[in-house]
Amino acid sequence: MPVTPTSLDILRGPLSGLPGAITLAPVGGPIDAVVTPPGSKSLANRALVLALLGCGKATLRNIPEEADDIEVMLAALPKLGAKVTRLEPGVYEIIGTFGKPLGGATLNLHNAGTAIRFLTAACALSKEPVTLDGDSRMRKRPIGGLIDALRSLGANAEYVGEEGYPPVRVGGGDPESWENSVEFGPTQSSQFISAMLLIAPFLPHDIEISIAGEITSAPYLHMTAGMLSMLERSGGEDPVLGEFAVEPDASGAAPFHAANLIVSGSSITVSGIEEDSLQGDALFVTLLDSIKDGDRIRAFDADLSDMPDTAMTLAVVACFADGPSTIKGLRTLRVKETDRIAALVAELSKVGVVVEVFEHESPGGNPDEGIRVNPPAGGLDCTADAAAVAFDTYDDHRMAMSLALIGLRRPNVTINDPACVAKTYPRFWQSFASLYGG
């Protein structure tokens, strides 16, 4: 299905109308487009948890309700006792549980990492146990650091299956008796710490949260802290989120910023993300600016410890650089929607790019991983008779969105399972089609 006016109609249509694979064609010249990504999943799921626990009414706007990660969270809230009213598309009124979510539920949170981690902490406040589970991939994503922290406070938290991984059962204790401090050791996910921060305002007494060693993905903790600063106090001291509008997703914007470099001379504007954004990935455009040299992409050395969700996109940019590039700070990619390091090695090799994996020490002295991206000698083959290649996407939205960028320059590129973008950006292919004009 080459990208022609006819096939563009398919990309512009509903996600359900996509075939199992799409074949892209080069855009043929500079791109002039404006793109508005959906609301940030990271901001939205934090807002939804604060609304669930809130002591009153919250009104949330620009909720990316078609995204899988948000759908599972929205489905969970009524089961936990929140009153949820959809006022209009993307706008929800939520009356919270005053820090006491309803127990007794079993939640299937699919492969939504923020949902299962944040709700595991929230449900520890329930008077009756709650079981939280997910799909087969979720059962391979670690949650031990959070369970250990909850247990150290005195919360009831146990594994239903394999130690260290979902499913888990939490709740049924008395937060009044919890300890007043918790310490996190070096952890694979900042989401564990964010989960604890999100429930802290709703505990019956203050707690001190300390972190030993290096912080993983620190900007996400800054995001959580920024969200907490927006809590209002209803009835004197009771915290409630009140009014909150979710900003467009900076991680979803990354491929469109990258397209400006990959297709020389392009002018793609991503709207709606402010300079004072709470999203760490909003700085990705600054990184791209630093490696752009006219029509040339300079080989680079980058550390993405603070914005790992942009790594796949930056790896694709490196395929078009004028020499080998290194990307560090990637150890968390092993436990995302797929093993993203292994996926990049496999998929980029299909276009002659050699991706070497290496170990390194993080700035804090901890073990970490990185990749060296080696473009083919003479550059990527973007001639009309370039060999056909089909990229697998591993049911990973960010793999699909990133690998699609190669098709903007290289002919005969096929993306398998393009509908996997539903996880966070269901309208991605509609935005992508806008890059072709018309």
The per-residue pLDDT for range 101-133, each reduced to its tens digit, is 999 999 999 999 999 999 999 999 999 999 999
Cβ-based burial of 193 (10 A; exposed 0-12, middle 13-18, buried ≥19): buried
Clarify whether residues 53 and 75 are in a common domain. Answer: yes
Clarify whether residues 239 and 303 are in a common domain. Answer: no
Clarify whether residues 204 and 283 are in a common domain. Answer: no
Segment among 2-6, 248-252, 303-307, 325-329 with least mean pLDDT: 2-6
The per-residue pLDDT for 279 is 95
| Beta bridge partner(s), residue 168 | 132, 159
Give the mean pLDDT of 2-30: 86
Domain end call among 197, 223, 245: 245
Clarify whether residues 288 and 425 are in a common domain. Answer: yes
- Pairing relation of β-strands 208-211 and 181-184? parallel
Cβ-based burial of 295 (10 A; exposed 0-12, middle 13-18, buried ≥19): exposed
Give the mean pLDDT of 415-426: 95
Residue 386 has pLDDT above 80, yes or no: yes
Clarify whether residues 337 and 368 are in a common domain. Answer: yes
Clarify whether residues 182 and 133 are in a common domain. Answer: yes
CATH code at position 45: 3.65.10.10
What's 91-138 look like in SS3?
EEEEECCCCCCCCCCEEECCCCHHHHHHHHHHHCCCCCCEEEECCCCH
Clarify whether residues 200 and 256 are in a common domain. Answer: no
Clarify whether residues 30 and 161 are in a common domain. Answer: no
**Domain hosting residue 308, numbered range:** 5-39+248-436
Kindly report, residue by residue over 185-209, the tens digit of the pLDDT: 876 678 999 999 999 999 999 999 9
What's the chain look like in SS3?
CCCCHHHHHHHHCCHHHCCCEEEECCCCCCCEEEECCCECHHHHHHHHHHHHHCCCEEEEECCCCCCHHHHHHHHHHHHCCCEEEEEECCEEEEECCCCCCCCCCEEECCCCHHHHHHHHHHHCCCCCCEEEECCCCHHHCCCHHHHHHHHHHCCCEEECCCCCCCCEEECCCCHHHCCCEEEECCCCCHHHHHHHHHHHHHCCCCCEEEECCCCCCHHHHHHHHHHHCCCEEECCCEEECCEEECCECHHHHHHHHHHHHHCCCCEEEECCCCCCCCCHHHHHHHHHHHHEECCEECCCEEECCCCHHHHHHHHHHHCCCCCCEEEECCHHHHHCCCCHHHHHHHHHHHHCCEEEEEEEECCCCCEEEEEEEECCCCCCCCCCCCCCEEECCCCCHHHHHHHHHHHHCCCCEEEECHHHHHHCCCCHHHHHHHHHCC
Of how many residues is the chain composed? 438
The per-residue pLDDT for 2 is 58
Residue 438 has pLDDT above 80, yes or no: no
Our count of domains for the chain comes to 2
Kindly report, residue by residue over 213-271, the tens digit of the pLDDT: 777 788 999 999 999 999 988 666 799 999 999 999 999 999 999 999 999 999 999 99
The per-residue pLDDT for 3 is 63
Residue 6 has pLDDT above 60, yes or no: no
Query: Among all chains, which residue has been given the structure tokens 């397209």?
Result: 259
CA pair distance 239, 244, nearest whole angstrom: 14
The per-residue pLDDT for 212 is 84
CA pair distance 52, 99, nearest whole angstrom: 8
Domain end call among 245, 279, 309: 245
Residue 393 has pLDDT above 80, yes or no: yes
The active-site residue, picked from 68, 133, 281, 309, is 309
309 catalytic residue (yes or no):
yes
What percent of the chain has a predicted confidence (pLDDT) above 70? 97
Kindly report, residue by residue over 346-366, the tens digit of the pLDDT: 999 999 999 999 999 988 788
Largest CA distance in the chain: 70
Backbone angles phi, psi at 126, to 5 degrees: -70, 150
Using alpha carbons, select from 76, 95, 79 the residue that is nearest to residue 87: 95
Clarify whether residues 205 and 299 are in a common domain. Answer: no
CA pair distance 91, 61, nearest whole angstrom: 4
Give the mean pLDDT of 15-40: 94
Give the mean pLDDT of 151-157: 97
Clarify whether residues 26 and 54 are in a common domain. Answer: no
CA pair distance 1, 415, nearest whole angstrom: 11
* Residue 360 CA from chain centroid, whole number: 24
Clarify whether residues 148 and 284 are in a common domain. Answer: no
Segment among 16-30, 73-87, 213-227 with least mean pLDDT: 213-227
Clarify whether residues 144 and 237 are in a common domain. Answer: yes
CA pair distance 168, 160, nearest whole angstrom: 5
Give the mean pLDDT of 409-416: 95
State the number of CA atoms in the 13 A half-sphere of 431 facing the CB: 24
Task: Work out the number of other CB atoms within 10 angstroms of the CB of residue 146.
Answer: 27
Domain end call among 222, 245, 268: 245
The per-residue pLDDT for 83 is 98
CA pair distance 430, 43, nearest whole angstrom: 23
Residue 274 has pLDDT above 90, yes or no: no
Residue 436 has pLDDT above 90, yes or no: yes
Confirm if 209 and 149 have CB atoms less than 8 A apart. Answer: no
Average pLDDT value over all residues in the chain: 94
The amino acid that residue 92 corresponds to is: Y
